[in-house]
């Protein structure tokens, strides 16, 4: 993934899907009822426990608790061609959770419109950052991460 200033870093997650899930080497987002998700993986994804190891990324200074979620590098290349200011997301450290996630823009992005909403929320967060906003997002995360889009 790419983080602050476009620096590439390794994001830590618990494995929830089978290894080598793509024959063409392309990154494919998880979908609802995705056959690649293991039984244990379904539980840790539903409860968002797969995000817990990212606390190591926070401790290493690569991520923050709150900020724009880092996307796969292939998705950065794809969406930056279609969405103005896409790379403005890299002006701050990525987060384990963010404004887009608590607004429901998490999980699979089925079309460009969904990604535009996600990026717009990220830019809004960057432009209006405050400790209070981080606090509100962290509180709302508890409810959002166990909701219907956790898969």
Percent of the chain with pLDDT over 70: 87
- Local structure of 125: helix, strand or coil: helix
Q: For residue range 24-60, list pLDDT tens digits in order.
A: 666 676 667 777 888 888 888 888 788 899 999 999 9
Query: Residue 10 has which token pair?
Result: 């390794």
d(CA 121, CA 102): 10
Asked which of 18-22, 121-125, 132-136 is least confident by mean pLDDT, the reply is 18-22
67/93 Cα distance (integer angstroms): 6
Query: What gap in Å lies between CA 100 and CA 121, rounded to an integer?
Result: 5
pLDDT-derived band at 151 (thresholds 50, 70, 90) equals very low
Q: Decide if pLDDT at 148 tops 60.
A: no
DSSP H or E run through 64: strand 64-66
| Residue 21: band (very low, low, confident or very high) from pLDDT cuts 50, 70, 90 | low
pLDDT in tens, 84-124: 999 999 999 999 999 999 998 887 787 899 999 999 999 99
- Helix, strand or coil, per DSSP, at residue 111: coil
* pLDDT at 77 exceeding the cut of 50: yes
**pLDDT recorded at residue 110:** 79
Residue scoring higher pLDDT (39 or 69) = 69
Q: What is the CA radius of gyration of the chain?
A: 15
pTM: 0.81
């Amino acid at each position: 993934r790419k983080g602050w200033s476009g620096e590439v870093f390794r994001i830590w997650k618990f494995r929830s899907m089978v290894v080598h899930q793509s024959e063409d080497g392309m990154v494919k987002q998880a979908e609802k009822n995705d056959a690649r998700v293991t039984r244990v993986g379904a539980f840790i994804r539903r409860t968002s426990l797969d995000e817990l190891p990212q606390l190591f990324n926070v401790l290493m200074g690569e991520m923050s608790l709150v900020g724009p979620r880092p996307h796969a590098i292939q998705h950065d290349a794809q969406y930056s061609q279609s969405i103005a200011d896409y790379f403005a997301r890299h002006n701050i450290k990525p987060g384990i959770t963010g404004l887009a996630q608590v607004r429901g823009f998490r999980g699979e992005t089925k079309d460009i419109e969904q990604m535009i909403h996600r990026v717009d929320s990220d830019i809004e967060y960057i432009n209006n950052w405050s400790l209070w906003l981080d606090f509100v997002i962290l509180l709302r995360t508890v409810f959002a991460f166990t909701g219907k889009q956790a898969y």
